[in-house]
Amino acid sequence: MIPLQLTLKNFLSYREATLDFRGLHTACICGSNGAGKSSLLEAIAWAIWGQSRTATEDDVINAGEMDVRVDFTFINNYQTYRIIRSRHRGRSPGLEFQVETESGSFRSLSEKNVRTTQHKIIADLRLDYDTFINSAYLRQGRADEFMLRRPNERKQILADLLKLDRYEELAEKAKDTTKQFKGQTEQLTVNLQRLKEQLEQREDIVREGEHLKEKLEQLHKEQTVESKQLKGLQALDGERQTWQQQFLWQKEECERLGKECDRVLQDRQRQKTELQELQELCDRETEIISGYQGLLQLQQEEENLAAKFQAYQEAQQQKQQLQQQLERKRNELNLQLRQTQTRLEALEQQDRELVELFQRGEEIDRAIAQLKEHRQQLDRLDSLQHEVSPLLQRRGEIALEVERTQTRLSARLEQLRASEREFSAQTARFSDLRQTVWEVNAKVEELDKKKVYRDRVQEKGQEQRAAQERLQENQRTYEKRIKELQQKLELLEVPEAICPLCERPLDEHYRGAVVDKTQQEQENIQQQFWLLREQMAEGDRKLQALRAEYAQITQELEPYDSLLQQRGQVETDLDRTYQFHERLQENQAEQESLTRSLEEGNYALELQTELQNLDRELQRLNYDEQTHALVREEVKRWRWAEIKQAKLEDARQKHEQIAAQKPQLETAITQLQTQLEGLGSNSELQQQILQVEGYLRELGYNRDRHNTAIAELRQAQSWQLRHQQLQRAQEELPKVQNRLQGLEERLEKEQKDKRAIEERLAQLQEQMTQMPDHSAEIHRLEVNIQQRRRQMDELLANQGRQQQQLAQLETTQQQKEDTQQQLDTIRRKHRVYQELAQAFGKNGLQALMIENVLPQLEAETNQILGRLTGNQLHVQFLTQRTGKSSRSKKKNAKLIDTLDILIADVRGTRPYETYSGGEAFRINFSIRLALAKLLAQRAGTSVQMLIIDEGFGTQDREGCDRLIAAINAIASDFKCILAVTHMPQFKEAFQHRIEVVKTDSGSQLTLLD
């Protein structure tokens, strides 16, 4: 991949920036820390793969902006491509993949969505994000990552970079399959042994069946003899029961007639009592009619008095209304009179106050003169204040700005001192952080393995639960079938049983055959049912064991998330520690500059000069704020004279108005008093009240007489009820006489029928005494037959069970043969997958691939390292070493897999930790660059662009020269090399420089030759 042009809009620290890579072979991206050098390179990775170092996707958008866009044009495999990636806050991203045509325009290769378009980009470039950052992009702070790990961790890192985890997944799948086949083998072995034991019981079952058949024939003969005896006795007993039923029916009919006669006698007595009461009431006819006539007269009198009472009430109400109207009229006149008198008194009071105000005229004139004099002086001071106020305001602003500058410098100085302490503390924590990262990584790797094993346990549990559900479904099917067969046997036990198919009666021989066949089928199903129950019990035990194991592993994985969070935090702290040393030096220089400025007052010089000029101008004007305030108060003190003078003019006009209003109010008071005197004697309302009082006297209503009439009417109300009872008695008397006669006739008929039934009962009783009772003998025979039938049922059940066992043994023989064949197949598959698990494991293909890669990696590393060190250093990779416990026994020495890196110089082989920072960096850089080229070759592409974002601060002058020489030496292997640094001596060593500067409008780029 060869870059051509990169265009940024609102990406991280950049607002608008374009970088043209055409003509750049080796270039240096330089600038101060935080200017945006690494962000420029992150934009390339984000444009192609949509990934960056930010925590969330929206974090790549510049602060304060809503969208971001990156256009990247490059050459890959002699074809020019362009990728445009954009994103808007809170919305889905956009991605456009284009290829250049022969005419120079671009044609779209984008798919229907972002995901499929991303897959298209990776497929065409044959380069994914992980391979890019480990090959073409040497990211900052990762130079010694490979060397600082333990030997076994280095081997794992190399395996991860080579993407050997795919073989690890295949190995795990093969192991899981092997465990499944092993479990199936154990289960099939147990089942095969159980089937063999069942087949050994065949001879015992056959002998027991012959014995049961003989015993059944003997019981069947005895059952036939007693069944015939029982049928004869049951016929005789049935005739006797018929006569007994007739006797009971006649007896019940006699008892019913006796109860009916008693009920008719009671009805007759009630009718006689009612007839007597009605006759007595008819005898008092004259007395009741007389009392009823008196009641009607009282009702008429009460109605007349009620009408007079209604008219009396209406007249009284009218009289009250007229009196109320007369009183309201009197109150209104009194109110008007009081209001008019009050107004007259108020006018007289105002007139007296105005006279007092006229007497202060001379005093008000003298105060007006004082007010004019003070106002002239105030106008002069106001004019002077307008001239001085802008100068004072400007002086305050300048003084405040000078003070703010001093405060800002002091705060910055204090911030720098605090940062210095923090940087020193953070730099001291480097070794502790690195040790913590190693420990946390080891714990995380161990928990990752447990997490994978827990997933396997969960899958096994799910499979076991599915098997249990299938067994439960089979169990319900067997239970249903057993119940159906039991019902069928109960129907066949009845002597008059019919065929369930043709609905014809079954003879004894055919019924026995059907029963035998049904019982045999029932025994077969019962045997399968118990076998199923054993399998379910075994499955429950396995399921409980898997649950316990899953719970234990889950408990062990509880600290997993906290460890991941701790690892991320510690790694972030470790990355920051690399930058703290350089920031500490810049901090100290800035502290010295700020301290000198504050001590000498060498800050805001222009503002301090302007402040002195303003002080001289204010002194010349000689404006006194206190004198201005005193004059203003004097003006306020004499302003009452203007108010009093205006009131004096108003008072003269008001005095004239009062003199005109007083005679009118006095006349109105006299008129109102005259109207009040004539209201109670000759008014229209008073005449209407007198007319209503005359009407009440003419009406003549007497309340006492009305109350007496009401009391007499209440006492006479009972005659109305007696009159109604008399009318009803006269109507009911003939009906009661007819009902009494009918009851007499019915009683005579019921008594005659009762005597006839009693005679029939006597005859039936005599006949029943002549017939013998066979119920005891019948009961004895029924008990014997029932007991013998239960014995036959048990024998038939045992016979069916034995026949079912024989049929089951035939099935068992076939199952044995099938199980043996299945066991052989499973064992063969188990061996195959066991060998696959070993082949895909770390000691198989993975170890072989690493062994093949390491010589190439070692040769490439030493070639680059020789350029950097003048062939003074040499690196060797060892994959095996002798164990400590077996070093003394060389013949039986045990080799341990490892990935040790031996570094040799002119003085011999030494550990990596004993080399200086510059030497260690050159070693790391060589191994890192060799890994990059190796990964690119394995990905099927070539590394045409190299980005080096590593810190070169550990190199001395000679080391820097060698590093630059090494970069120039390998420059022919790459189309474009970009090195990111802030060191001045590196800037001049490259053909081109890309200066990055941080401004208020974002980071800016400048290309220098």
For residue 952, count other CB atoms closer than 10 A to its CB.
21
Is the Cα torsion angle 963, 969, 970, 976 positive or negative in sign? positive
Residue set of the binding site for Zn(2+):
499, 502
Check if the beta carbon of residue 869 is closer than 8 Å to that of residue 922.
yes
The sheet that has 874-882: what strands, in order across it?
874-882, 895-905, 908-910
**Angle (nearest 5°) at CA 535 between 529 and 536:** 90
Which residue type is seen at 570? V
Check if the beta carbon of residue 801 is closer than 8 Å to that of residue 523.
yes
The β-bridge partners of 71 are: 7, 84
User: Which residues neighbour 437 within 8 Å (Cβ) at sequence distance 6 or greater?
Assistant: 567, 570, 571, 574
Task: Name the DSSP class of 57.
Answer: G
CA 636 – CA 375 distance, rounded (Å) = 10
Structure tokens at 554: 């889950």
The two most distant CA atoms of the chain are separated, in Å, by 164
Q: Which residue has the tokens 């001879």?
A: 203
Which residue type is seen at 762? A
Which residue type is seen at 57? E
Structure tokens at 676: 């009040």
**Angle (nearest 5°) at CA 962 between 961 and 967:** 100
Number of H helices and E strands in the chain, helices first, is 22, 15
CA 569 – CA 970 distance, rounded (Å) = 37
Strands (E), 2-93: 2-9, 16-20, 26-30, 67-76, 79-88
CA–CA distances in Å: residue 464 to residues 457, 471, 535, 542, 749 = 11, 11, 12, 8, 87
Residue set of the binding site:
499, 502
Check if the beta carbon of residue 967 is closer than 8 Å to that of residue 25.
no
CA 914 – CA 909 distance, rounded (Å) = 11
φ and ψ of 307, to 5 deg = -65, -45
Q: What is the pairing mode between strands 137-138 and 976-981?
A: unpaired
CA 919 – CA 870 distance, rounded (Å) = 12
The gap between the terminal CA atoms of the chain, to the nearest Å, is 23
Check if the beta carbon of residue 234 is closer than 8 Å to that of residue 778.
yes
CA 596 – CA 468 distance, rounded (Å) = 85
Structure tokens at 252: 């019940």
The β-bridge partners of 948 are: 138, 979
**Angle (nearest 5°) at CA 237 between 235 and 239:** 75
CA–chain centroid gap for 843, Å, is 47
